Structures are given as C-alpha cells and as structure tokens.
Amino acid sequence: MTRIVLATHNAHKVAELQAIVSAVRPDIEVTGYDGPEPVEDGTTFAANALTKARTAAQHTGLVALADDSGLCVDVLGGSPGVFSAYWAGHAKDDAANVALLLDQISDLARDEDRTAHFTSVIALVEPGGAERTVEGIWPGRIAHAARGENGFGYDPIFVPEGDDRTSAELTPAEKNESSHRSRALRALVPFLADL
C-alpha cells in the first residue's frame, strides 16, 4: 500500500479525497496531516495548494497532496474564491460564511443571476522532487436557502448544474462522482500512476 499525506487538518476533506482516490487507485492510502499549518497567503488556489503540499512533504517525507478550493460566485466577481473559508471572518465558521453569502445576494430572485462554481486546485509534491497542480471546476448556482445534511462548507447552498438538489442533499458517492475535487483528481490520475 502506497501512503500519501493530504495536507489538511480537515477530516471531511481526508475522507472525501480517500473515497475519490480509492476509486482510481485502491492501493493508495490517504492519511491526514498532523504537522504545522502553513500560512496560506497566496492570492490563487494554486499558490495556496502548493504551499500546503510543500510543507506537508517536507514535514512528513511523504508524497503530499493538497487541495485549495472555494466557491466562486459570478455576481460577486468570483468571490469568496480563495477567501471562502474566511468569508465571514477568521473563525472559519461554515454557518456564518453561508449566512453572509446568502445575505449578500438575497436581492437576486432569478436562478440565472445566482450562477457560481466550485474550484479545486490539487497540488502533488514529491519530497525533493516534482511538483504538479491540476484544477477542477464544478458549475452550478446558489440556492435561496440552505438545504441538506451531507457535506460541509457551502454544500448546503450550492446546486450543481443539471440538478435541483444542493450538494449537501447528494449522497457522498454522488458528490464524489462529480465534485470539483473529483474533477481535479481525475486530471491528476496520470501522475498518480508514477507513485
């Protein structure tokens, strides 16, 4: 079994990425990261993903994956974007982030005015070796109210394109099949073959 570290302290992301990776490479075990948290001071998803992956690879000596992702709302010029986790402040409060975003676009009644997408950039860093980044986009729109119990973050208000359910109403398997992370990971598959 090949072990790689996912540069996050978020157990939800570890479980989600393990499920996605297992569908492609069942011989890879994704473990969580227990080291120091790097400062995510990049202005792009790629910059932040690389910072996290480099830190985890250096700290553990393992091949490291890092995801930096966020919700990009068209009418807000792509915000919250890289600031998604902190949209309502540094507490990283999912409920506060969702409430603030819904309030900011509350006057937009038409679904076509509420378009958005999730972006995920996954960085793969080998200790002392190669670095790669791949991107996945999951288009959709913002619901008028939070719905669903699955997922985390903005999942209760994100309605994927072609569906009427929020991503928090999808089963974990449905989400893992079509999410921004699964799209990015599919782009990473050729590089996983080298591990």
90 marked ligand binding residue = no
92 marked ligand binding residue = no
- Burial level of 90, CB count in 10 A (0-12/13-18/19+)? exposed
9 marked ligand binding residue = yes
10 marked ligand binding residue = yes
Enclosing H/E stretch for 19: helix 11-24
52 marked ligand binding residue = no
154 marked ligand binding residue = yes
27, 34, 68, 113: the active-site residue: 68
- State yes or no: cis peptide before 156, omega within 30 of 0: no
12 marked ligand binding residue = yes
**Contact present, 185 and 163 (Cβ < 8 Å):** no
191 Rama class: left (phi>0) / alpha (psi -120 to 50) / beta = alpha
Active site residue 94: no
175 marked ligand binding residue = yes
How is residue 162 written in tokens?
């072609």
d(CA 77, CA 122): 23
150 marked ligand binding residue = no
**CA 186 vs CA 75, 110, 127, 182: distances in Å:** 29, 33, 22, 6
180 marked ligand binding residue = yes
DSSP letter, residue 27: T
Catalytic residue ranges: 68
Which residues carry a binding-site annotation for substrate?
Answer: 8-13, 69, 152-155, 175, 180-181
Which residues carry a binding-site annotation for Mg(2+)?
Answer: 68
Which residues carry a binding-site annotation?
Answer: 8-13, 68-69, 152-155, 175, 180-181
